[in-house]
Amino acid sequence: MKKLVVAAFALGLSLSVPAQTDFRSISFQEAVNAARQEQKMVFIDFYTDWCGPCKKMARETFPQKKVGEYMNKNFVCLKLNAEKEGKELAARFEVKAYPTFVILDTNEKVQADLKGFMDGDTFIAKVKAGLNPECSPERMAERYQAGERTPELVNNYAFHMMEQRKEKEGFEIIDGYFNSLSDAQRLDKANVFLFTRYTMSIDEPKSRFMVEHRNEFDASVKEDIADRISRLYRAKAVTYFSGYQLRSNLYKEEEYLALKKEIFDLGLDKKYKYAPMFRLIEGRLTCDDDAYVAMCAKEYDSLEELDRSLLIMNLTRLIKTEDPAILKKMSEFIRTHLREMAPSCISVASRALDDIESRMNKK
Kindly list the catalytic residues.
Answer: 51, 54
Q: How many residues does the chain have?
A: 363
Helix (H) or strand (E) holding 115, with range, is: strand 110-115
DSSP readout, 135-178?
GSHHHHHHHHHTT---HHHHHHHHHHHHHTT-HHHHHHHHHHHH
d(CA 85, CA 304): 40
**Going edge to edge, which strands form the sheet with 75-81?**
75-81, 41-47, 100-104, 110-115
d(CA 100, CA 34): 22
* Single-letter amino acid code for the residue at 269: D
Chain centroid to Cα 165, Å, comes to: 18
d(CA 176, CA 105): 37
